[in-house]
Chain A
Amino acid sequence: MTEEKHTISLLVDNQPGVLSRIAGLFSGRGFNIESLCVAETMDALVSRITLVTRGDQLIIEQINKQLNKLVNVIKIHDLTGTDFVEREMALVRVKAKPEHRAEILRLIDIFRCKVVDVGPTHYTIEVTGTWGKLAALLDLLKPMGINEIARTGSIALARDKKKNKQHSKGG
């Protein structure tokens, strides 16, 4: 069976230890986590976790079921295969030699990024987009010399709640 990347959105109790239960589930059962993002939702008692994982169909099915089984997981939504928006943000500190500055600024313009910090020898760029967009920009910046990078991992939301199947617990 072929491996597929899946973006899974979870609503969980906003309590200490919940993230550790989820991370522990993945490490204990040998599942992959490519990225994981957590923050509070509008309801302070609930957090949203967006995680990106990879596996064949049976593994993905197990990941979904095992996550659903955790007592602190309120709702799970495997977004892959549904209509959803996905974004990632990165801060990139790129070397800014005088002969590269114009080129970098042009790229920033094309990719609709922002320069958030400027130094005598570097720019720090804030970029937001899909995984593909980030990869493309990083490819282009690489020849200039990337000093450091910090990425958030994906966050995602379904486009239209009503159209997409939500998996409530217990079903």
Chain B
Amino acid sequence: MLDLKLTGAKILMEVLKEEGVDTVFGITGGAVIDLYDELARTDIQHIMVRHEQGAVHAADGYARAKKDVGVCLVTSGPGATNAVTGLASAYMDSIPLVVFTGQVPTSLIGNDAFQEVDIVGITRPCTKHNYLVRSIEDLARTVKEAFYIARSGRPGPVLVDIPKDISQGATDYKPLQAISLKSYNPNYEPNAKQLRRAIDLIKEAQKPAILAGGGVILSGASKELTEFAKRLNTPVTASLMGLGAFPATDELWLGMLGMHGTYWANMSIGSCDLLIGIGVRFDDRVTGKVGTFAPHAKIIHIDIDPTSIRKNIPVTVPIVGDCKIALAELNKLMDEEAATIDVENRKPWFDQIEEWKSTIPLAYEQKDTVKPQYVVEKLYELTEGKAIITTEVGQNQMWAAQYYHFDRPNSFITSGGLGCMGFGFPAAIGAQVACPEQLVVDIAGDGSIQMNIQELATAMQYNLPVKIVILNNRYLGMVRQWQELFFGKRYAATDIEQAPDFVKLAESYGAVGLRATRPEEVEPVLKEGLNTPEPVIMDFWVDREEGVYPMVPAGKPITEMLLV
């Protein structure tokens, strides 16, 4: 093959094509004009957002819905710093992204040049890895490495900072072969001995439970998980990030675990004798008070990231490896050991769970004012559970998690670890780009939606018919709930009654705005909104002081729940 002299900008496009990139989210600026000029000449689709935070969240939503790497391109300085929140969210949730930032020319780096920031320094702790490209000869290999690191092992965002002179410079270009790094070799294969030990614990268990996390979804292990749970005849709960990993309509499903988990899921973990954590990191929202978490259980913990194991809780059998491979191996071992695993002895355990469930189910009372739970439940009914749901953060997120039942992986897209308000709408845009035929709904709060509402212009520009359901209580509701419960109802800085008219706001962007203020209007508004082919904001005026329950106060055992 003939070697060609290409500009840095052109080399970047070549590598993007080699990596199979078909969509880039971003916004231009001085340091990336050359890159944009070249991008516009490729077949790669560019989604021009209105704020860089929106670009990264959109790439995040795209990555999850498409099960692929999300790609962003933003400019130097403020463009790069605006992307930081999105990177931090993707990092916490292990979402594979490659974010390209422009940088001032190498000769100016360190001089406090116009729109210069040390973005590699800034994002070191919130990316899986990052690079400043110092020489055009390094560009192609660096970009290849970035994709490889982003998608392999425990996935995560990688940032590549490209100085302007490198985009503009030229060098010989020859496509590179597959990347291997001597200092980075993620381990996928679980240790056979540990798998055996896990089977031994499984044999002894009378009251086992499975806790699934985002790792199950990331490794594409839902099928293996479902098979595992069925064979083991074992109830399944999940972290917020694990919703959709196991079908919520299955009889073994317990609902979500943790601070706003179901009563019976939390009680089950409080009394199980074996807990199998798969692709979870036992974050504080799941465990509550660590010392009292699963106090009677031996714990098997499967995770691809060794640092997740024994970070927060002690583990009886650690299994480092890919969830999908580990579960497939366990299923195979259980085949061999079928005779020695008694899964018919679970009746007392299931009876106990059923009793918890019937004593304190998830409940609310729909009276004169619209209940937010009712809106979510109706949305679930009308979409037959088939929509891709994204959420903002706070009460809206928890009601979505509790009342929309997710049967498929990647159908629930939320900022789990970082808890980033303003995430849901741009993420919905990304998911809609990835899945043009699917219904995508952002369940939002009136506070969160205002954090990235500018992206309505993006949705309009690219005909992305995302539906926004605002559970509008004119409060920053989750903090208000904490103030109600723990701060003597002193609502400091949470009343946001001063707000735009969301219907008019939608219309001003050229979108459709609808409003429901009474319970009987909920269903018609949802029906009309969901059937509208354009982007729609549906503004539901809900009970201002409705709370999310059950609730485990921070630092308490998860079995000590506030129930109303």
Interface set of A (CB-CB < 8 Å, partner B): 12-13, 16-17, 20-21, 24-25, 28, 58, 61-62, 65-66, 68-69, 71-74, 169-171
Q: Are B124 and A72 in contact (CB under 8 A)?
A: no
A-B contact sample (18 more), CB < 8 A, given A12-B183, A24-B125, A66-B307: A17-B120, A17-B124, A20-B124, A21-B124, A24-B124, A58-B310, A62-B311, A65-B306, A68-B306, A69-B306, A71-B128, A71-B129, A73-B183, A169-B182, A169-B184, A170-B185, A170-B187, A171-B187
| Nearest A-chain residue to B158, judged by Cβ | A71
B185, B186, B187, B306 pick with most chain A CB within 10 angstroms: B306
Q: Are A65 and B307 in contact (CB under 8 A)?
A: yes
**Interface residue? B305 (CB, 8 A):** yes
Contact residues in B for A74 (Cβ distance below 8 Å): 182-183
Contact residues in B for A28 (Cβ distance below 8 Å): 125
**Interface residue? B493 (CB, 8 A):** no
| Nearest A-chain residue to B191, judged by Cβ | A171
Q: Are B124 and A170 in contact (CB under 8 A)?
A: no
Chosen A-B contacts, 11 in total, with CB atoms closer than 8 Å, are A16-B132, A61-B310, A62-B310, A66-B307, A69-B305, A69-B306, A71-B128, A71-B181, A72-B183, A74-B182, A170-B185
Count residues on chain B whose CB falls below 8 Å from chain A CBs.
20
Q: Are A71 and B184 in contact (CB under 8 A)?
A: yes
Whether A62 contacts B307 in the complex (CB less than 8 A), given A13-B183, A71-B181, A71-B184, comes out as yes
Q: How far is the CB of B117 from chain A (nearest CB, A)?
A: 15
Interface residues of B in 115-131 (CB under 8 A from A): 120-121, 124-125, 128-129
Whether A71 contacts B120 in the complex (CB less than 8 A), given A58-B310, A66-B307, comes out as no
Q: Are B186 and A170 in contact (CB under 8 A)?
A: yes
Docked Cα-Cα span, A20 to B118, in Å, equals 13
Q: How far is the CB of B121 from chain A (nearest CB, A)?
A: 7
Contact residues in B for A72 (Cβ distance below 8 Å): 183
Contact residues in A for B305 (Cβ distance below 8 Å): 69
Q: Are A169 and B183 in contact (CB under 8 A)?
A: yes
Docked Cα-Cα span, A33 to B125, in Å, equals 18
| Nearest B-chain residue to A12, judged by Cβ | B183
**Interface residue? B149 (CB, 8 A):** yes
| Nearest A-chain residue to B314, judged by Cβ | A58
Q: How far is the CB of A71 from chain B (nearest CB, A)?
A: 4
Interface 1/0 per residue, B153-172 and A, CB below 8 Å: 00000000000000000000
Contact residues in B for A62 (Cβ distance below 8 Å): 307, 310-311
Contact residues in A for B311 (Cβ distance below 8 Å): 62
Contact residues in B for A17 (Cβ distance below 8 Å): 120-121, 124, 132
| Nearest B-chain residue to A74, judged by Cβ | B183
Docked Cα-Cα span, A13 to B138, in Å, equals 15
Q: How far is the CB of B128 from chain A (nearest CB, A)?
A: 8
Docked Cα-Cα span, A20 to B185, in Å, equals 22
Contact residues in A for B182 (Cβ distance below 8 Å): 74, 169
Contact residues in A for B125 (Cβ distance below 8 Å): 24-25, 28
Q: How far is the CB of A27 from chain B (nearest CB, A)?
A: 9
Docked Cα-Cα span, A61 to B306, in Å, equals 10
Docked Cα-Cα span, A21 to B121, in Å, equals 9
Q: Are B185 and A71 in contact (CB under 8 A)?
A: no
| Nearest B-chain residue to A23, judged by Cβ | B124
Q: How far is the CB of B302 from chain A (nearest CB, A)?
A: 16
Q: How far is the CB of A119 from chain B (nearest CB, A)?
A: 39
Docked Cα-Cα span, A71 to B149, in Å, equals 9
Contact residues in B for A20 (Cβ distance below 8 Å): 121, 124
Q: Are A71 and B310 in contact (CB under 8 A)?
A: no
Docked Cα-Cα span, A24 to B149, in Å, equals 20
Contact residues in A for B121 (Cβ distance below 8 Å): 17, 20
| Nearest B-chain residue to A69, judged by Cβ | B307
Contact residues in B for A24 (Cβ distance below 8 Å): 124-125
Docked Cα-Cα span, A73 to B184, in Å, equals 8
| Nearest B-chain residue to A73, judged by Cβ | B183
Contact residues in A for B132 (Cβ distance below 8 Å): 16-17
Interface residues of B in 290-309 (CB under 8 A from A): 305-307
Docked Cα-Cα span, A21 to B132, in Å, equals 14
Contact residues in B for A171 (Cβ distance below 8 Å): 187
Q: How far is the CB of A30 from chain B (nearest CB, A)?
A: 12
Contact residues in A for B310 (Cβ distance below 8 Å): 58, 61-62
Docked Cα-Cα span, A170 to B191, in Å, equals 12
Q: How far is the CB of B270 from chain A (nearest CB, A)?
A: 23
Docked Cα-Cα span, A61 to B185, in Å, equals 19
Contact residues in A for B149 (Cβ distance below 8 Å): 71
Q: How far is the CB of A66 from chain B (nearest CB, A)?
A: 5
Q: Are B183 and A71 in contact (CB under 8 A)?
A: yes
Docked Cα-Cα span, A104 to B183, in Å, equals 48
Contact residues in B for A169 (Cβ distance below 8 Å): 182-185
